[in-house]
Amino acid sequence: MLRWHQKLTTKLTALGLLFFLILSFSLVWQYQLAHDRLEESSKQEAINQVEAVTVAIQLFTREAEQGGELIEGFIKELNIENNRSRYRIIHSPSIDNQYGFEEEEGFKSDQEREAYRTGKPLSYEADNSFHHVAPIIAGEGCPKCHKLPDGSGPIPVGYVLGLAAGSISKDIMNERLAALRQVGVNGLALIAVMLLAFAVFNNAFIVRPLIRIFDMIDKVSKGNLAERIDIHSSDEIGKLAEDLNSMAEQLQTSFDHIKNWKDELEKEVKRQTEEIMIQTARIKSMNDYFQAVIDSTQRIIITTGLNLVIDSVNAEWEEQAPKYDIDIVLEDMLKKPILSFIPDAHRERFRRSCDKVISEGEPGRHEVHREVVEMKVRGEKVIFSLTLSPLIDSDDLMVGLVFVISDITEVKRAEEQLRIERNKLNAIMEGMGDNVMIVDSNYNTLFLNRIMQSTFGEKAPGRKCYSLIAGRDTPCDECDKDGIIDRATVEIEGKDSRYYMATHTPITDLDGNRSVIGVYKDITFRKEMEEELRNLTITDNLTGLYNKRHFLSSLKKEMTRAERQGPPLALLFCDIDKFKSYNDTYGHVEGDVCLGRLGELIRQSVRQDVDTGYRYGGEEFTIILPNASIDDAIHVAERIRTSFAGHTFKPRLNGEEVSVNKKISIGIALYSKGISLDEFIEKADEAMYRAKRAGGDRYKLS
């Protein structure tokens, strides 16, 4: 009969064995669950990656002109960054024809052939990896670029262009499962040791801790990995509890790592997918922008590779080609040599120009070639401007040529017409008999015709017009007042003492700059005639003094100035005593000699350019003395009186010469403010008659 503690030990051993079996089953079950989750997440990762690659490839092929190069670069970068993943493009002959892939990727499994045939995605396992293949389907824009393999026409929408294949190695999953297995084995080994210890100890301290341990194991087996045993003894049970806690901790850590790894992997896949989408959208936006700019120009723009095969033609071709009887549509030009579209007469020269631009291109220095080409279109001459410039990549290397073609026929015609009109204008200016010059709005001389150059010098252009013509340092009063850019006709006194009638006509060029054409007619002779005529109208021919009409006008001006400014003004009235008797005795000729002598004495006795003498009428004379006091007036009057009285006339009477001295009477009046012209004259005249009544040969003050 077994003792109770032996029975208990047996029971504990049986329970331990049962616990061991349950724990083993639980660990196997948890291991299988982890295995399934890891396997499913790896498969889903392969599917997500391949679908992301497929989306990126669809964007590249539809939106980017260099789609093939971008796809290859994209796949290479993915394979470099993911050393346990492998991505491939299984491309159809249509993709090969479009992008010219250097190496062909063939089918590596029956599943890939099946996916290509059916056009449906397919997942499978092989070679210790998870595999997923997804078809690349032709969309709405693909028929524009892709052709059927035999070249018979564009591919239809829905056509399978190829496959995107991805493989993810099972190594990562196997490594994590191996770690999980090791944790389970370690736990089972530890539990086996503890069960052997439990069989030795049958005292009361074992049962209760075991019950607690069983409870903890039960909870852990049900998935509660956060459960822990609160036993702090230093015996084997305590160590077992510590190890169980550690095992549960490790299990929880492992599952947390697996979960975190899955979450991080999903985030990274999402981030990379979003980044690819952003870059693709940015490339598309930039491509659309530059294409819109190129298509909006009114010039034909063609790009080629270094082999002169056309890569692109902007939309302006379809606008311009019909104007020149060219029935080649834009699509027919792509992928063909540009030389095949050049007329035979210009093809060789065009080829040499292209070779020159290509041969002279060096990194950092690229030549641009320009030339003008003339052609006949419907019997009319058409002139084109052609610019050949290198197409440069990001490494500053030439990868092709850019051709810019524009019709400059109208520009050339306008230039020719402008040249003809300029020659006409020059001929007109040179043929005119007057001086002609062109001046800008700042008075700078721009042009002088032949006559003006001979008058003012050949080095005159560039000088100020007022310095050239009038010898002034500032603009002439007429121009400074009215403005050189306004139409005007003015008289100018030249520095050569000649007078010119200047006619200014403003003109405006295409840039809005204003200038003036000036025609300068020499009017010196006319001015001299006018001055002589004027002198005849205001001068008394007999005495050389001014006449009465000019006297009244001058006196009025001087009275106005004296009234406004206040300087003194004196007026002298002179009359020859007993002139009528002298005239009757010796004749009018001798009388005229007497009058002429008095006029000469008056001119000699007054201040030059200040005082003025006049013949008032008959034998009466007047003298205006501006800014003269009464003493000044008396001094002038006495000088005239004594000079005239001291002169001896030699008239003839009855054929014999006689000596006669004549006398004059003078009246002096000073201007006072407020008196009228007639009152001023009357004051001087009345003073003169008082001198006569006093016996003559004297002066009297008013």
Residues 116 and 93: their CA atoms lie apart, in Å, by: 13
Q: Which two tokens stand for residue 468?
A: 């050239």
154 and 86, same domain (yes or no): yes
- Inside any domain, residue 82: yes
**How many C-beta neighbours within 10 Å does residue 62 have?**
17
Q: Which two tokens stand for residue 102?
A: 């250097």
Residues 626 and 611: their CA atoms lie apart, in Å, by: 6
Q: Which two tokens stand for residue 694?
A: 């006093």
List the CATH number of the domain containing 631.
3.30.70.270
**Residue that is last in its domain, among 170, 199, 219:** 170
Q: Which of 23, 382, 390 is nearest to 186 (CA)?
A: 23
By annotation, the residues acting in catalysis are 619
Q: pLDDT value at position 7?
A: 66
55 and 160, same domain (yes or no): yes
Q: pLDDT value at position 326?
A: 77
- Inside any domain, residue 121: yes
Residues 368 and 631: their CA atoms lie apart, in Å, by: 94
126 and 94, same domain (yes or no): yes
Domain tally for the chain?
5
Instruction: At 403, give phi and psi (nearest 5°).
Output: -110, 125
Q: If phi over 0 gives left and psi between -120 and 50 gives alpha, with beta otherwise, what is residue 295?
A: alpha
Q: pLDDT value at position 691?
A: 96
Terminal Cα-to-Cα distance of the chain (whole angstroms): 186
Strands ordered across the beta sheet of 445-448: 445-448, 435-440, 514-522, 499-508, 488-493
Distances in whole angstroms, Cα of residue 246 to Cα of each of 25, 228, 236, 257? 19, 9, 15, 16
Residues 161 and 67: their CA atoms lie apart, in Å, by: 14
382 and 318, same domain (yes or no): yes
Residues of the chain with pLDDT under 50: 1-2, 4-5, 100-104
Q: Which of 630, 627, 593, 631 is nearest to 611 (CA)?
A: 627
Beta bridge partner(s), residue 641: none
- Inside any domain, residue 38: no
- Inside any domain, residue 283: no
561 and 674, same domain (yes or no): yes
Q: Torsion angle, CA of 425/431/434/437, rounded to 10 degrees? A: 30
Torsion sign over Cα 521, 525, 531, 534: negative
- Inside any domain, residue 35: no
488 and 606, same domain (yes or no): no
Opening angle at CA 598, ends 596 and 604, nearest 5: 105
Residues 353 and 371: their CA atoms lie apart, in Å, by: 9
Q: Which two tokens stand for residue 255?
A: 């599952």
Distances in whole angstroms, Cα of residue 514 to Cα of each of 439, 517, 582? 9, 10, 73
Instruction: At 655, give phi and psi (nearest 5°).
Output: 85, 0
DSSP string, 289-319: HHHHHHHHSSSEEEEEETT-BEEEE-THHHH
Residue count of the chain: 702
310 and 354, same domain (yes or no): yes
Decide: helix, strand or coil at residue 222: coil
Opening angle at CA 189, ends 185 and 191, nearest 5: 115
- Inside any domain, residue 271: no
553 and 683, same domain (yes or no): yes
56 and 87, same domain (yes or no): yes
Q: pLDDT value at position 1?
A: 45
Residues 642 and 665: their CA atoms lie apart, in Å, by: 11
List the CATH number of the domain containing 397.
3.30.450.20
Residues 6 and 12: their CA atoms lie apart, in Å, by: 9
**Residue that is last in its domain, among 343, 372, 407:** 407
Residues 106 and 124: their CA atoms lie apart, in Å, by: 18
699: exposed, middle or buried (Cβ count in 10 Å: 0-12, 13-18, 19+): buried
- Inside any domain, residue 422: yes
Q: pLDDT value at position 102?
A: 43
Q: Which two tokens stand for residue 178?
A: 């191996």
Q: pLDDT value at position 278?
A: 76
Using DSSP bridges, classify how beta strands 660-661 and 160-169 pair: parallel, antiparallel or unpaired: unpaired
Opening angle at CA 618, ends 689 and 579, nearest 5: 65
**Residue that is last in its domain, among 155, 170, 185:** 170
Domain that holds residue 359: 297-407
- Inside any domain, residue 75: yes
152 and 229, same domain (yes or no): no
Q: pLDDT value at position 379?
A: 63
450 and 521, same domain (yes or no): yes
Residues 94 and 145: their CA atoms lie apart, in Å, by: 10
68: exposed, middle or buried (Cβ count in 10 Å: 0-12, 13-18, 19+): buried
Q: pLDDT value at position 437?
A: 76
Residue linked to tokens 């056009």: 119
Q: At what angle do helices 548-565 and 677-693 cross, to 10 degrees?
A: 110
165 and 54, same domain (yes or no): yes
List the CATH number of the domain containing 71.
3.30.450
Q: pLDDT value at position 104?
A: 44
Q: Are 16 and 195 in contact (CB under 8 A)?
A: yes
